[in-house]
Amino acid sequence: MKTMEECRILNNGVQIPCLGFGTYKAAEGNTSDIIKMAVRCGYRYLDTASFYQTETYVGQAVQESGLPREDFFLVSKVWKEEMGYDQTLRAFERTLQNLQTDYLDLYLIHWPKPSPDYEDWENLDVQTWRAMERLYREKRVRAIGVSNFLPHHIENLLASGEIVPAVDQLEFHPGYTQEAAVRYCQEHNILVQAWSPLGRKRVMGDELICKLAEKHQVSQAQICLRYALQKGVVPIPKASSEERMKKNQDIFGFELTKTEMYELDTMPPVGWSGEHPDRERVSIDK
């Protein structure tokens, strides 16, 4: 990958940009200004979700950009409380209305369980996936996938579904690489995307990240994003300033060495959000 416009190919042949823009908390103050700024900076892959409450603002930014809809890659997700066959279909309609579009490029199940102790999650996921498959067959979405699904969650879908998820969006960054889940996805031709690809303050301040940033004359964030890129993962960073948006794009002019990648692979655990699909959320000092 040499530019952010270059694409990876999903398992159904759909092209997906190798770098996205995350919109979680990107509409604070109830405006689309930050998302419009991202579009002006060149981002075309816009990641949202019903839970984020930014779909409306993403739709506004796309409409007011003056660019054709097909220039954008729009992604949203069905939330925990919207799961199930009929509920997912209704949630999808709301998402289309919010985004002012008649199709999505990618639609994901946000979490595999409404809560860690939800007993009938296998059946709920299967019914939700049936709805996703219907939307795909009706060509209302170009690709379908999951988010925060671990191998055993995906195996449940594969056992009864007909379509292999195209994507699994996971928390992924140096210090929290979810090696088993990433390896499983890559072995099954499921593209991994990274939410929170920059980790948190402790990741940015880690001595190895700082050392590599100084060596390559880039920011700590650029090190994290380049790491994801070289791992075959599509990073979806967030930013609220034009300077950071542009820096996050500038990750194609340097390369981490094999040794540096090994060092990042084996960093001590750091920067985890505390979120896990099978466990109660853990409160962690960032």
For residue 189, give the 3-state DSSP assignment: coil
Q: Known catalytic residue: 52? A: yes
Torsion region of 136: left, alpha or beta (phi above 0 gives left; psi -120 to 50 gives alpha): alpha
Structure tokens at 61: 């930014």
Contact 213, 222 (CB under 8 A): yes
CA atoms within 13 Å, Cβ hemisphere of 268 = 4
How far apart are the two ends of the chain, measured CA to CA in Å? 31
Residue 62 burial by CB count (10 A; 0-12/13-18/19+): exposed, middle or buried? buried
Contact 228, 173 (CB under 8 A): yes
For residue 8, give the 3-state DSSP assignment: strand
Annotated active-site residue in 45, 52, 136, 176: 52
Kindly list the catalytic residues. Answer: 52
